[in-house]
């Protein structure tokens, strides 16, 4: 079957669909077929609007798109980033895949990172770390730092400066003393505007301590040295590590210093375990494949435009933001690898921590149009020593997925409102359509190992979906145009000029100029 024929088969099955609740009645093995457990992670897909027949058709589509061959290329180090002619080897940072040369370089860097982190922790000179980066150089470390708090007390206070907004760097250094603060400038290119400006600001704030209290993590050693950071204070990573996949590299050095090399090592091991699961398991038992193909069904067959991710754990509240970059920067593409229109690709990814979202956008999830599939993420262990809070948190998580599926039919509402004078107006408003799909992912705990397992799961989901959509998941040309124009506009602002712009942009620049001169 061709790819189009596979999708036609899926559309036909969607046309025959029954309610999710009916699938539980007609498919006795539904839990066995739609729940996958791997290490500390359990994913329950049974509340998705996917029949067993549709699940098999989705797996057939994956095989028809040569997923297994693409997976083999990924782990073999082939140049699957075709537009930039690069291999994609972030798994090698977890000691999975990569050539002997790559593994030797990775092991050497990991040892250097651990030795440096231990030396800083043992010396006691520094009390604070200011981690300066943006995008993948910020989102991953920030997410992981919050999560590590569940099981570890940081040895140093870890702060982040990411946005070019001056408030970001001001907030990062507020209340700190230059003498006992270590600044880590993290940038793959060491040319990113936001990171460069914040690095310069912190260097000025450090004053006489700048030479000894600043280090860099980069793939462009020359630019870091030009910035004024000595060669011995530069930690390298490589062009085969994409920014959004870089938390496993020296980009995570601040995490090693704050929380210790052992925690970081467990984080890597958790990801490596998921790598090996994805690499070795057949498609029908493969967790990233099932997560990805569920998303394909919801996006390309059912036509949902967005995907909500709701972590019922405050320690991973930044997970939706992390996934926005991971998924939307990777697969937010309209052109295939071979230069043709791609059709429907990555949905909008969004979310917030539970239970906060229940008091905000859950109204839309339950009764709005068109609604969105939800990934609920929950941690079974109470790390906060507040069992009543934890029980309430998980009760809400489990109830929301059930409510989205069951809904509340109008006849039940009418029974409750019997005798009410406005029953005809109120009953439809209080009706919940139900049959709204969700996946529930539970972690046994929020250990560094489990966190690595979770993040790697979604990394591989992105790869699988990129194969199905036939897009390059590892470039990001869409990031560049706005950055180039911003550089042009900034240069003109500094010179007091207004160049060749559309009337709206020109008017905005003139407004700023008038404001500054008043």
Topology agreement, domain 3-78+271-474 and domain 90-267: yes
- Of 180, 194, 205, 147, the closest CA to residue 450 belongs to 147
Asked if residue 270 has pLDDT above 80, the reply is: yes
Catalytic residue among 174, 208, 232, 359: 359
Strand segments, DSSP code E, in 170-233 are 181-186, 214-218
SS3 235: strand
Supply 108's token pair.
């050497």
Q: How many Å apart are CA 141 and CA 131, to the nearest integer?
A: 9
Delimit the domains of the chain by residue range.
Answer: 3-78+271-474, 90-267, 483-517
How many whole angstroms separate alpha carbon 445 and alpha carbon 439?
Answer: 18
- The answer to whether residue 3 scores a pLDDT higher than 90 is yes
Whole-number Å distance between alpha carbons of 188 and 175: 29
Side-chain half-sphere exposure of 431, counting CA atoms within 13 A: 15
Angle, CA 311 vertex, CA 305 and CA 312 arms, to 5° = 135
38 is catalytic: no
With tokens 């009764």, the residue in question is 367
Residue 425 confidence (pLDDT): 97
- Report whether pLDDT(480) > 90: no
Say what the pTM is: 0.97
Asked about 460 being catalytic, the answer comes back as no
In 179-285, which ranges are E strands? 181-186, 214-218, 234-236
Q: Is 359 a catalytic residue?
A: yes
* Token digits of residue 121: 């922790």
Extract the tokens encoding 327.
Answer: 């998924």
Q: Which of 8, 177, 483, 497 is catalytic?
A: 483
Per residue in 401-437, pLDDT tens? 999 999 999 999 999 999 999 999 999 999 999 999 9
Distance CA 238, CA 236 (A): 7
* DSSP letter, residue 402: H
DSSP state of 49: S
Q: How far apart are CA 445 and CA 39, in angstroms?
A: 11
Tokens of residue 350, six digits: 């969004």
pLDDT digits (tens, 9 = 90+) for 446-471: 999 999 999 999 999 999 999 999 99
Q: CA dihedral defined by 62, 64, 67, 69, rounded to 10 degrees?
A: 160
pLDDT at 47: 98
| Tens-digit pLDDT profile for residues 340-353 | 999 999 999 999 99
Domain 3-78+271-474 in CATH 3.40.50.10490? The answer is yes
Instruction: Report pLDDT for 518.
Output: 72
| CATH domain 90-267 topology | Rossmann fold (3.40.50)
Q: How confident is the model at residue 66 (pLDDT cuts 50, 70, 90)?
A: very high
Q: State the burial class of residue 293 (Cβ atoms within 10 Å of its Cβ: 0-12, 13-18, 19+).
A: buried
Identified catalytic residue from 329, 366, 390, 459? 329
């Amino acid at each position: 079957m061709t790819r189009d024929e596979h999708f036609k088969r899926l559309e036909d099955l969607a046309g025959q669909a029954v309610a999710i609740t009916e699938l539980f009645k007609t498919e006795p093995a539904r839990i066995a077929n739609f729940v996958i457990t791997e290490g500390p992670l359990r994913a329950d897909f049974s509340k998705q609007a996917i029949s067993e027949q549709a699940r098999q058709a989705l797996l057939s589509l994956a095989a028809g798109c040569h997923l297994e061959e693409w997976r083999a290329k990924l782990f073999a180090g082939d140049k699957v980033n075709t537009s930039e002619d690069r291999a994609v080897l972030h798994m090698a940072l977890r000691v999975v895949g990569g050539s002997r040369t790559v593994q030797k370089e990775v092991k050497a860097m990991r040892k250097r990172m651990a030795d440096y982190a231990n030396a800083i922790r043992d010396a006691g000179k520094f009390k604070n770390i200011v981690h300066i980066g943006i995008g993948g150089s910020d989102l991953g470390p920030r997410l992981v730092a919050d999560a590590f708090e569940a099981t570890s007390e940081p040895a140093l206070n870890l702060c982040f400066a990411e946005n070019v907004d001056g408030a970001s760097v001001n907030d990062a250094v507020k209340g700190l003393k230059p003498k006992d603060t270590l600044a880590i400038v993290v940038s793959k290119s060491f040319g990113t505007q936001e990171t460069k400006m914040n690095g310069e600001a912190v260097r000025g704030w450090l004053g006489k301590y700048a030479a000894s209290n600043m280090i860099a993590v980069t793939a462009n050693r020359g630019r870091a040295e030009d910035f004024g950071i000595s060669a011995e204070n530069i930690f390298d990573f490589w062009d085969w590590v994409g920014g959004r996949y870089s938390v496993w590299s020296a980009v995570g050095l601040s995490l090693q210093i704050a929380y210790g090399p052992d925690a970081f090592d467990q984080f890597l091991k958790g990801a490596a375990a998921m790598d090996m699961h994805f690499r070795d398991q057949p498609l029908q038992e493969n967790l990233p494949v099932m997560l990805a193909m569920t998303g394909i069904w919801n996006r390309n067959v059912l036509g949902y435009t967005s995907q909500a991710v709701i972590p019922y754990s405050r320690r991973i509240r930044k997970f939706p933001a992390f996934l926005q970059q991971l998924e939307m920067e990777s697969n937010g593409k309209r052109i295939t690898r071979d230069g043709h229109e791609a059709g429907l690709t990555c949905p909008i990814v969004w979310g917030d921590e539970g239970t906060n979202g229940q008091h905000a956008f859950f109204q839309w999830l339950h009764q709005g149009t068109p609604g969105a599939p939800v990934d609920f993420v929950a941690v079974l262990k109470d790390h906060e020593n507040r069992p009543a809070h934890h029980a309430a948190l998980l009760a809400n998580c489990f109830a929301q997925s059930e409510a989205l599926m069951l809904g509340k039919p109008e006849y039940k509402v009418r029974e409750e409102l019997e005798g009410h004078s406005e029953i005809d107006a109120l009953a439809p408003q209080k009706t919940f359509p139900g049959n709204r799909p969700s996946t529930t992912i539970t972690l046994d705990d929020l250990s560094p190992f489990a966190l690595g397992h979770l993040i790697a799961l979604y990394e591989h989901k992105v790869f699988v979906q990129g194969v199905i959509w036939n897009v390059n998941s590892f470039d990001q040309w869409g990031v560049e145009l706005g950055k180039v124009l911003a550089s042009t506009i900034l240069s003109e602002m500094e010179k007091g000029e207004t160049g060749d712009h559309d009337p709206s942009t020109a008017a905005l620049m003139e407004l700023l100029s008038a404001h500054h001169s008043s």
